[in-house]
Amino acid sequence: MNPSRVASTALLGLLTLHHLAQAATADEIEVRLFYAQSGTFSEPISEGAELWNVIAGEQGLREPSTSTFVRVRVSESGAGSRNAGRVVLTVTDQHTKKRSILTKHLGAFGPNGVQYVGFWLPNTGCASLRIEAAIAGTASAVARNIPFRCGE
């Protein structure tokens, strides 16, 4: 194959991927505690919520919780973003600064131009977390702080 044709094809592919990634935006993070005793979820955790000793079910929780479910809303902002790209969720322990990076591929957008991507975070409840979601290859992101704390 002609080297200039290969380079042109590769450049076209990169430009198409860049366009597709730019067309979708992660614009909302919702966080819920998972209650293992009943198999249910909490109401969405609001900004500024106090999450003290959730592993013991304190702060008026129905049950203890040691896992968290994160739902990221992704909106398409232009034609061509259907089935393109992936969501990158970065979870940072605020005390140790240890980071975990989780990714999920985007599927088909609904008729309203929105889809939701879910992430399961095990072993949560005592370390405050910073959660950031973005579409791979883009600079825009949405973030939430989850102020888990434990103690006597």
Name the residue range of residue 26's domain: 3-149
pLDDT of residue 13: 45
Q: Is the pLDDT of residue 62 over 60?
A: yes
pLDDT of residue 152: 80
pLDDT of residue 17: 43
Span 74-91, pLDDT tens digits: 998 765 445 468 999 999
Number of domains observed in the structure of the chain: 1
12-25 core/surface letters (b: 16 or more CB in 10 A; e: else) = eeeeeeeebbbbbb
Q: How confident is the model at residue 14 (pLDDT cuts 50, 70, 90)?
A: very low
CATH of the domain at 44: 2.60.40.1930
| % of the chain exceeding 70 in pLDDT | 81
pLDDT of residue 19: 41
Question: What gap in Å lies between CA 35 and CA 56, rounded to an integer?
Answer: 11
Question: What gap in Å lies between CA 30 and CA 118, rounded to an integer?
Answer: 10
Residue 62 token pair? 């129905």
